[in-house]
Amino acid sequence: MALGKKLIAMAAAAALVLVNGAAPAARAQDSEIVAWRALHEELAIAGVLERLRAAPAPEIVILRNVGVVDPMERTVREGQSIVASLGRIYQVLPVPEEPQIEGALIIDGGGRYAAPGLTDMHIHSTSASSYLLNIANGVTTVREMDGFPWMLAARDAVNNDRMLGPTSYVASTILNYVPMGGYAVVVQDAPTARRVVRQQAACGYDFIKIHNLMPQRVFDTIAEEARRAGLDPVGHVPHFMSVRHAAEQGMRTMEHLKGWLNDRTLTPGDTDFAAGAVPDVWVTPTGYAYRNYAEAEAMEAMRTGPASRYVPARTRAQWSAFVETASTPGFALNLNARLHRREIMRQLVSQGARFLAGTDAANYPFQTMGFALVEELRLLREAGVPEEQVFRAATTEPAAAMRAERDFGRIAPGMRADIVLTTRNPLEGAHAAYSENQGVMLRGRWLERAAIDRALAELADLYTDDQPAPRLTRASADAAARAAEALVASGFVFNPGTLREAATVLRRAGHNAAAGRLVALAIAPTSGPCAAITP
């Protein structure tokens, strides 16, 4: 049996095993049921991803007879063949000149469009489902915006082909002046700022992420130390600071329109819109995170939309409760904020700001990873960003913002072989083109649409409302630990929070050995720079 199938079987066994006549050692409360169910879901999703990864992947793949779309030149070169070797694009040439390579996998593009893979420049992954949902929607690169050591391990596992997922770039753990419930490192003075930035750099993060509350003198120190470490500061323009000052201090990407929108009052803030067009500065509006949260009908449509099938039933239940609060004064304030954001975007477009497509998924209600980025393309166009800029905001602009123009964002020799096959021309409408992709090439690995759809169907089945809660017995606890160990041995990286929370449930039920095995798999540095800066 192939490794992927073995892992699927083990995950299924962990989720379904029952011991006749045995009762749980302790009656699980609702939170415990959620933690135990979440572990089984992660095991099953990891198994799905491993099965996709275990499919044959020849060293050379040829995507034949496609129109190669270039977002920078705004051209389509028809009748082309793309030769990918070892995860990179080796050649792009007319079909008659295609090399004859024994053993190569040849995919007939049927005259459709070969477009660069998409990039989501602002995500917060917590579940393995994020990897599958992004890939399914042609999102081949992501930027994690609150980094933890396990995300660095996942990044490296993906890069080494030990795990299937989009190529990721990981911002540091958030730096903020006050605590954020375990999601931020507290920095309140210049010496701490220097020490923390150095530790973040040594840990291996790709950027330094700054949040809402940061005095200007400390912000300036962070920016200076980041430059010395070769890292760009990114994130929120802090309260009480001008956007121009943040830009001049080297904040390379600015998230959520903060600064121009007063984040404390959700009213207009800084009116220096030209600051958004400062060279080497990009704006990530994350319009997807600020959709219509003021009207119950609109929220209900998001709650029951097609993408919601790929969200756990318990999360959808929370969304339902959220809909019921739509008439509160706070929601009216959010509705006004949407109008202010619309005007801010109009001003930034007129000033020539450079935009990045980012979603903040899955950080808020009504968000579904992957589908989020495709919807963000539509929202950028709706906000007035010209169509050609919308396309670049998810392809070439992210590459430029992350100083990786030679690595991804276009289809050219030497680039990562991240390609989406579409029936429509993305130059004429990126949202429409990517919303119905016909297959995805991820670092040279071809994933046909049928295989992607089968994986999505498994995810939807896993998240259905009537999925029974797995029984908690000694046998099921041991089976879950074995499945997790096998997946980790193959290279898969779990969110350690999921493992620890499930381990707590096992301990309460008296299954200490299985609990210890899960905790041993959780990535949690106890020494070195990563341990020193992890909240």
Helices 30-54, 449-462: inter-axial angle, 10-degree rounding: 170
Strand partners, 185: 175
Look at residue 255 and give its three-state secondary structure: strand
* d(C-alpha 204, C-alpha 474), whole Å: 39
* d(C-alpha 435, C-alpha 424), whole Å: 10
Place of tokens 């579940």: 127
Q: Do residue 195 and residue 139 come from a single domain?
A: yes
- Determine the pLDDT at residue 8: 36
Find the radius of gyration of the CA atoms of the chain. 23
Residue 407 resides in a domain: no
Q: Do residue 237 and residue 271 come from a single domain?
A: yes
Q: Do residue 130 and residue 215 come from a single domain?
A: yes
* d(C-alpha 372, C-alpha 302), whole Å: 11
* d(C-alpha 335, C-alpha 293), whole Å: 7
Q: Do residue 110 and residue 131 come from a single domain?
A: no
Last residue of a domain, one of 374, 401, 428: 401
Residue 454 resides in a domain: no
What's at 112, amino acid-wise?
R
Place of tokens 């200490």: 512
195-240 pLDDT, tens per residue? 999 999 999 999 999 999 999 999 999 999 999 999 999 999 999 9
Q: Do residue 74 and residue 99 come from a single domain?
A: yes
Residue 409 resides in a domain: no
What's the CATH code of the domain at 154?
3.20.20.140
Comparing CA positions, the residue from 10, 1, 35, 2 lying closest to residue 488 is 10
Q: Do residue 101 and residue 202 come from a single domain?
A: no
CA atoms within 13 A on the CB side of 448: 11
Residue 291 resides in a domain: yes
Find the domain containing 497 and state its range.
Answer: 3-55+474-533
What's at 422, amino acid-wise?
T
- Determine the pLDDT at residue 326: 67
CA atoms within 13 A on the CB side of 379: 25
Q: Do residue 103 and residue 134 come from a single domain?
A: no
Burial 232-248 (b: 16+ CB within 10 A, else e): bbbbbbbbebebbbbbe
> Angle at the Cα of 434 (from 431 to 438), degrees rounded to 5?
155
Q: Do residue 96 and residue 143 come from a single domain?
A: no
Residue 296 resides in a domain: yes
Q: Do residue 439 and residue 487 come from a single domain?
A: no
What's the CATH code of the domain at 111?
2.30.40.10
Residue 467 resides in a domain: no
- Determine the pLDDT at residue 292: 72
Residue 464 resides in a domain: no
* d(C-alpha 230, C-alpha 239), whole Å: 26
Look at residue 114 and give its three-state secondary structure: strand
**Tens digits of pLDDT across the chain (535 residues):** 343 444 334 443 333 332 222 333 333 358 889 999 999 999 999 999 999 999 888 999 999 999 999 999 999 999 999 999 999 999 999 999 999 999 999 999 999 999 999 999 999 999 999 999 999 999 999 999 999 999 999 999 999 999 999 999 999 999 999 999 999 999 999 999 999 999 999 999 999 999 999 999 999 999 999 999 999 999 999 999 999 999 999 999 999 999 999 988 889 999 999 999 999 999 999 999 988 776 778 888 888 999 999 999 999 999 988 887 766 666 667 778 888 999 999 999 999 999 999 999 998 899 999 999 999 999 999 999 999 999 999 999 999 999 999 999 999 999 999 999 999 999 999 999 999 999 999 999 999 999 999 999 999 999 998 778 789 999 999 999 999 999 999 999 999 999 999 999 999 999 999 999 999 999 989 999 999 888 8
Q: Do residue 245 and residue 392 come from a single domain?
A: yes
Q: Do residue 436 and residue 340 come from a single domain?
A: no
The DSSP symbol for 187 reads: -
Last residue of a domain, one of 401, 435, 455: 401
Domain count for the chain, please give it: 3
Residue 457 resides in a domain: no
Strand partners, 262: 267
Q: Do residue 288 and residue 301 come from a single domain?
A: yes
Comparing CA positions, the residue from 435, 464, 425 lying closest to residue 75 is 425
